[in-house]
Amino acid sequence: MLLAINANNTNVKFGVIDGDRIVGEWRQHTSAMRTADEHAVWLLQLMEIEGIDPKVIDSAIIASVVPQATFNLRRLCTRYFSTEPLVLGEPNVTYGVQIKGAGAGADRICNTVGASILFPETPLIVVDFGTATTFDVVDEEGSYCGGVIAPGINLSIEALVNATALLPRIVVEKPKKVIGTDTVACMHSGVFWGYVGLIDGIVARIRAEFGRPMKVISTGGLAPVFDGATDVIEQIVPDLTVRGLIEIYRRSTR
């Protein structure tokens, strides 16, 4: 049984995997100050609710883009699950794909590996709706070729609210009309359709530059919000990152 941990800037996601099956999944707000003991109190209770015995966990892997949080996540694995985790970025980890771009984060590498497993021999654009909205280009060999990083939709809302005196904080949702008739409706339209325009425009430019047909998939917490709003996204794969993390563990422990 594998404990897979994916620490992003907004949330830390924990998954318990039995073979190819994800038997438990939970998320927690990311805090670099949260200790291993605090992680354990929260996680062990959730595992008990799902009927998962912590003693069956015999391996772990961590992908983290928050270096300050990695120490306590590693300590969680060693102290409470008696296993030394693999940590992406360390020399003993095998990705099994070529990373052609410099500075790719752990989450983008996981997305690349997951996408190449699910859609082999097909050039891909992976749109990840997280703290940042990222576009990752994966070629037909499964290699990471680079991509685009844009501000995430919630970051854009926070910037809009914090930089203005009267605009309220809103929740991302698809508006019924483009032309808003009050402040909140105008904000919903600008944020939502602005991001649809961002998606359509960047995907079109990547495809033109890449020069070959490309399949577009999406993942991340806000991916369902844009389902059906743009024709360029062909499929949502909610567990893409964890699927990549599972495959990286297998390749590193063969």
Residue 155 makes CB contacts below 8 A (sequence gap 6+) with 131, 132
Q: Which among 37, 53, 107, 239 is annotated as catalytic?
A: 107
The residue behind tokens 């990549």 is 244
Sequential DSSP letters for 205-230: HHHHHH-S--EEEEESTTGGGGTTT-
Order of strands across the sheet with 86-87? 21-29, 11-18, 2-7, 59-64, 86-87
Residue 85 makes CB contacts below 8 A (sequence gap 6+) with 3, 5, 59, 60, 61, 62, 73, 74, 77, 78
Here the tokens at position 189 are 């339209």
Say how far apart CA 94 and CA 69 lie, in whole Å: 22
Here the tokens at position 57 are 């966990």
Q: Reply yes or no on whether 136 is catalytic.
A: no
The helix (run of H) or strand (run of E) holding residue 151 is: strand 144-151
CA dist 201 to 62, 115, 131, 230, Å?
Answer: 34, 22, 20, 11
Catalytic residues: 107
